[in-house]
Chains A and B, each alone.
Chain A
């Protein structure tokens, strides 16, 4: 008796399982979006807002009916800012999770570690990291959403030229960001007819840069000063700059384009300029600006959902996800070659970071003009026309 009822139960269970499997197979499988981000660890200020953005928008897209009538499924791993675990996770996404596209890679190191794997597997990959090496030379399967540091340098030099500065003093951090920024600035300065007459550095752990700034101040003919750096270093440079009472125009890089930098540097930041995403000044964008509604919508949605202020880095993830969705929709399937081709064909996509025009020889699709020049006035960012 007991045995029989057990048998029957097993039978019922098996039947239910089979039907449920059949049903799910019928109701189209979800589109799998893979991601590896530096959610914790030293680069968590990048990965944390990126993951929050991805989670929030995947949920939102699913509520609105998904993509091609299929739901999105986000599979993500935390690489802790470590390139070798980024590589492992990329491998896992490709082989065992069998995702349809990867949107991730918070740092250049993590991205470059995953590049050989995605190239070999033929997996469309949209990176969220900065360095120009990711898309130069162009790699068939690799795209990226943030502007490169070269564009930041170009934008700053363009603004300097516009204001009639020919000779500048450069001070940069020796960390990865500052060192790369220094290299790019020196490389493009000549194109803009600008001469770097003083070239100073500081290490990320330094607590005072007065000596370097004194040297720049005492160099003959300096018209303006540029600091390329990241973290608390540039804030210290800004404070020292003000304490030394240097009257030359002062520029920072996009690396410190955040409200927390203003908090750290305080009144010393008054008057400095930097290139930044329009995300910092959504209200002051002119009415006709195509990016204005996109930027405002993202900022409002993010801040309402997470109760924390929006960051430029989350914007990269927003653009990455939206580009992926647009390419899949255009391809009409998740066929990898078709999606890759559609990514390459994207023209005029208006994102948070800028307006993307991809091409076979441009897997970033942005121009230096996507950076807005901001100036600190009265303790807040103001858009410079």
Chain B
């Protein structure tokens, strides 16, 4: 009985950690521009597929990951320079639509260059799962969780302690005011896209041993990741992690104790309920609109 519960919990944490890591990626760009970057999933894909491609060239895994992450950063910066910057005076909705277009474009290129097959990324520390109280936990989930934790702490420090981080926050709060005090807002945005691509591609490589990777894996992961981010409160690093894990655990518990048919229904009802009472999510900023 208890081992079952433990198993559902571990499964939930595995799924949730994946969502959380993906959700974190939405945070930086949202904080910098209030844009929800729908090409975030493609950064994940580049992380995973890039690693597979570079490993295919005979490069050791660690360096393949580094190269894939660099590639994703370049794509992120290019996305901001070539697609977002030219439309700088457009409103947020237009920018969001641009990111949707960019995601389709990147996916198309990846399909041509890397093909349409699913690929395996080896686990970071072997395939042998950890057995605990009659339940099994994948070692890769531990990696996902710990990398998620490190990233949250790093994000919090970055946004509260560093000048650049505060410049990014400032830009999102009031672009004009930020410009007046000498923040180069375009530069800040470019940086935000680069960083977010870095975060996304690291997440992509870390979850790939669990989910596999393919040119279209971004759509699947980003959708649930976005839901997790909205649940936790967009823009909050802690919220992304809590939202992701909560979503994962609810899904696994529903699949385990009620029925796998209702898994998504229960998860989405919970989100509706949370957002109904707390429209900004669990950890969203409680800003007061000044008139």
Contacts and interface: CB of A to CB of B under 8 A. Distances in A.
Interface of A: 42, 44-45, 200-208, 210-212, 214-215, 218, 231-232, 235-236, 243-245, 260, 263-264, 266-268
Contact of B11 (A44, A204, A211): A211
B261 interface: yes
A214 B18 contact: no
B11 A208 contact: yes
Nearest to B210: A207
A200, A211, A243, A263 pick with most chain B CB within 10 angstroms: A211
Given A203-B264, A232-B212, A210 B11 contact: yes
A243 B129 contact: yes
Contact of A211 (B8, B214, B220): B8
A267 B220 CA distance: 26
A201 B261 contact: yes
Interface in B248-273: 252-253, 255-256, 260-261, 263-264
Contacts of B12: 211
Contacts of B223: 205
B136 interface: yes
Contact of A208 (B15, B220, B253, B264): B15
B13 to A, nearest CB: 10
A201 B224 contact: no
B260 A211 contact: yes
A218 B8 CA distance: 13
Contact of A236 (B7, B211, B261, B264): B211
Nearest to A266: B120
A267 B127 contact: yes
Contact of B256 (A205, A214, A243, A263): A214
Contacts of B221: 207
Contact of B120 (A200, A208, A263): A263
Contacts of B15: 206-208
Give the secondary structure class of B's interface.
helix
Contact of B212 (A45, A204, A235, A243): A235
A126 to B, nearest CB: 25
A44, A204, A232 pick with most chain B CB within 10 angstroms: A232
A235 B261 CA distance: 20
Given A204-B220, A208-B210, A264-B212, 13 more contacts: A44-B116, A200-B260, A201-B260, A210-B11, A211-B12, A211-B256, A212-B260, A232-B211, A264-B119, A264-B120, A266-B120, A267-B127, A268-B127
A263 B121 CA distance: 11
Contacts of A207: 14-15, 18, 207, 210-211, 221
B262 to A, nearest CB: 10
B224 to A, nearest CB: 7
The 4 nearest A-B residue pairs measured at CB: A205-B220, A211-B255, A210-B11, A207-B211
Contacts of B256: 211, 214-215
A208 B17 CA distance: 12
Contacts of A260: 117-118
Contacts of A205: 220, 223-224
Nearest to B213: A232
A243 B4 CA distance: 15
A232 B212 CA distance: 7
Nearest to A245: B136
Contacts of A45: 116
A210 B14 contact: yes
Contacts of A245: 136
B260 A202 contact: yes
Nearest to A265: B120
Nearest to B130: A243
A235 B127 CA distance: 14
A243 B136 contact: yes
Contacts of B260: 200-202, 211-212, 215
7 contacts: A45-B116, A202-B260, A207-B221, A208-B15, A208-B210, A212-B260, A245-B136
A210 B212 contact: no
B4 A218 contact: yes
A242 to B, nearest CB: 8
Contacts of A218: 4
Contacts of B18: 207
B18 to A, nearest CB: 6
B117, B127, B129, B255 pick with most chain A CB within 10 angstroms: B255
B30 interface: no
B10 interface: yes
B210 to A, nearest CB: 6
B4 A214 contact: yes
Interface string B191-219: 00000000000000001001110101000
B138 interface: yes
A42 B120 CA distance: 20
A260 B14 CA distance: 25
Nearest to B212: A232
A245 to B, nearest CB: 7
A244 B211 contact: no
Contacts of B214: 232
Contacts of A244: 7, 136
A230 B273 CA distance: 33
A30 B288 CA distance: 76
A254 B4 CA distance: 31
A5 to B, nearest CB: 51
Contacts of B224: 205
A210 B118 contact: no
Nearest to A263: B120
Contacts of B117: 260
Interface string B68-107: 0000000000000000000000000000000000000000
Contacts of B120: 263-264, 266
